[in-house]
Amino acid sequence: MNETFMKEKPIFGLVLSMSLPMVLSMLVSSLYNIVDSYFVAKINEDAMTALSLVYPVQNFINAVTIGFGIGINAMIAFYLGAQDQEKADQAASLGAFWNGVHGVLLTAVCIAVMPSFLRLFSSDKVIIDYAVRYSRIAFLFSVIIAFGMTFEKIFQAAGQMKVAMVSVLAGCITNIVLDPVLIFGLGPAPEMGIEGAALATGIGQAVTLAIYLVVYLRGGLPVKICFQSMTFRNEVSGKLYAVGIPAALNLALPSLLISALNGILAAFSDAYVLVLGVYYKLQTFLYLTANGIVQGIRPLMGYNYGAGEYQRVKKIFRTALSMSAVIMVFGTVICMLLPERLFALFTANAETIQMGEQALRIISLGFLVSSVSITAGGALEGLGKGFPSLLISLLRYLIVMVPAAFLLSRFLGAEGVWHAFWITEWLTALASLLIYSKGTGKI
């Protein structure tokens, strides 16, 4: 495949062709998140609360593996744009090795710390039992997740977005089909309860990796993973981590945020913890879709930056920002009009639904402006500028959000936490424009 199309095709069509496959796969991923939670909620509300408590640690595992994958993506795209095939192969090979190591470490550490982590947020033995049973199975697939994310970013860096789309879709659909079968014991399958939800997720991730491996072994990818390219004494590993560490921290920050907010909300009621957990499941429909656009432009930004096509870099950013804004407008309208119906998917408790309705309407006030932060952060990662991107995420998830949530909750109760979301998005959007402008000064 001749990847020079990244600097030759018209901008809008190029961004659309690179982003649409990933938007579609992210839409299915978000649907999976919602469907998975829907079936778990059918067990009982305690099981759903347990899933909410496990979510930050699951997100942390994804953050490390996806974040380092973004480093792999950025470096491969840059070296391909600079016509340096040897370095591109080294980035792919070393990236696969190091992310595999990350997967092994995450499996051991997360399983070991999970019981202690859960006791920080709940004293309910039933909820903790559900969460431990779910997490022990889910975390065993961390190595598979790591290799799956590595191949996803390698294929994306080479512009082969349809392969990534098909692989992700196959995994998500497998998961959706297996959820009710394994949770409730349909057909010959035993009834596994919440463990079945975890196993369905793991099997879906294995299917995704299997498809990547089959396509890779058939050839056609412009970079190769091989032992001969694993040269640890050059600068490639350092560059992978220079982008990968900030990107991983970017993605891990929501886990810290959710844990902090769980701590604040638990002081009012466990029901608010459930509301926050359901919100984060619902918001994946928007933010994973916008992330599909960001995934589409990362290799375009890196390739054109490496090729010295700075005007194209500017146009790609503006096009992606416009597309993300459209998605966020749609999400705002849905959340304003149908919040009670969305929450009713996960609980039949009228009081919890009312809490969720109020939360969703308030939080959605920040959806539109959040497109600025999302696009700017993703574009900076694509350019290999990991630390400016990290600064945007720090503002959005930690520096502004946590103090605002704590202070507002002192005056407004749990409602103050919901107001902290939109206030943070507006302030971070303004800061993101300044950070992006400074980080891309010569472009």
Torsions phi, psi for 389 (to 5 deg): -65, -40
Q: Which of 322, 320, 303, 304 is nearest to 312 (CA)?
A: 304
Under 8 Å between Cβ of 320 and 15: yes
Total domains, the chain = 1
Distances from the Cα of 418 to the Cα of 133, 264, 404, angstroms: 31, 12, 10
Helices (DSSP H) in 82-219: which residue ranges?
85-119, 125-138, 142-157, 161-184, 194-217
Let me know the angle formed at the C-alpha of 422 by 417 and 425, rounded to the nearest 5 degrees. Answer: 120
- Among residues 85, 56, 91, the alpha carbon closest in space to that of 70 is found at 91
DSSP 232-276: TTSSHHHHHHHHHHHHHHHHHHHHHHHHHHHHHHHTT-HHHHHHH
Each as own residue / partner, the long-range contacts of residues 228-234 (CB below 8 Å, 24 or more positions apart, any chain) are 229/86, 229/89, 229/90, 229/92, 229/93, 229/94, 230/90, 230/93, 230/94, 230/97, 231/90, 231/94, 232/94, 234/90
Please report which residue ranges of 218-235 form alpha helices under DSSP H: none
Report pLDDT for 1.
43
Mean pLDDT, each 10-residue run in order, the chain (443 residues): 66 84 74 77 86 86 88 85 84 91 95 91 88 93 94 85 86 90 89 92 94 88 79 79 83 84 88 88 84 85 82 90 94 92 85 91 95 92 83 92 95 94 96 89 62
Q: Give me the pLDDT at residue 261, please.
A: 92
Task: Tell me the CA distances in angstroms from 147 to 100, 106, 156, 351, one per residue in order.
Answer: 6, 13, 14, 43
State which residues form the domain around 105. Answer: 3-439
Type of residue found at 333? V
For 54, other C-beta atoms within 10 Å of its C-beta total 23
Check residue 51 and give its pLDDT.
Answer: 86
d(CA 398, CA 415): 19
Q: What is the pLDDT of residue 223?
A: 86
How far apart CA 121 and CA 48 sit, in angstroms, is 15
Pairwise CA distance, residues 418 & 229, whole Å:
49
Name the one residue in this structure whose structure tokens are 């600025």: 372
Q: Locate 101 and state its tokens.
A: 């190591």
- Tell me the C-alpha to C-alpha distance, in Å, between residue 436 and each of 201, 300, 324, 328: 36, 17, 16, 20
Residue with tokens 């909620």: 41
Q: Which of 90, 238, 219 has the alpha carbon at shortest distance from 163?
A: 219
**What pLDDT, on the 0 to 100 scale, is given for residue 109?**
94
CB 332 within 8 A of CB 50: no
pLDDT at position 142? 94
